[in-house]
Amino acid sequence: MSTIYTMPASGGPRTQITEGDHWDDKPRWSPDGRTIYFVCNRGGFFNVWGQRFDPDGGKPVGESFRVTSLENPGRMISSQIGILEITLSRDRLIVPITDVSGSLWMLESVDR
């Protein structure tokens, strides 16, 4: 389990952003500084979540919200969280997704 905090650039007390009940990692600020996006394993699979933030007050606003809905081992955000990275632009969220197919191959005459 992990928790995400913020702290003023000038120093001072830290502010808790996530509850610490799950694995919360890879926090990224939105370009306007009003949302923190992060990867979390709530529900068993990693997904991207967001937390609105008041930059003037330095506090989170409301509840965290889910951004992606990847709940299938065939298509999911990798559980190798150590090497995972996400990035944001003004109108895009970029996150690597593992897409696995369950192909079966039959090989005939393998002993000839």
Backbone angles phi, psi at 15, to 5 degrees: -120, 125
The residues with which 28 forms a beta bridge, in sequence order, are 37
Q: Greater confidence, 108 or 71? A: 71
Indicate if the pLDDT at residue 106 is higher than 80: no
Whether 18 maps to a domain, the answer reads yes
Range of the domain at 94: 5-99
> pTM, whole model, 2 decimals?
0.83
Span 19-74, pLDDT tens digits: 888 889 999 999 999 999 999 998 888 999 999 999 999 999 999 999 999 888 88
Tokens found for residue 53 = 């933030």
Residue 108 placed within a domain: no
What's the whole-number average pLDDT of the chain?
87
CA 84 – CA 88 distance, rounded (Å): 14
Q: Is residue 54 part of a domain?
A: yes
Tell me how many domains the chain contains: 1
The neighbour count for residue 45, using CB atoms within 10 Å, is: 17
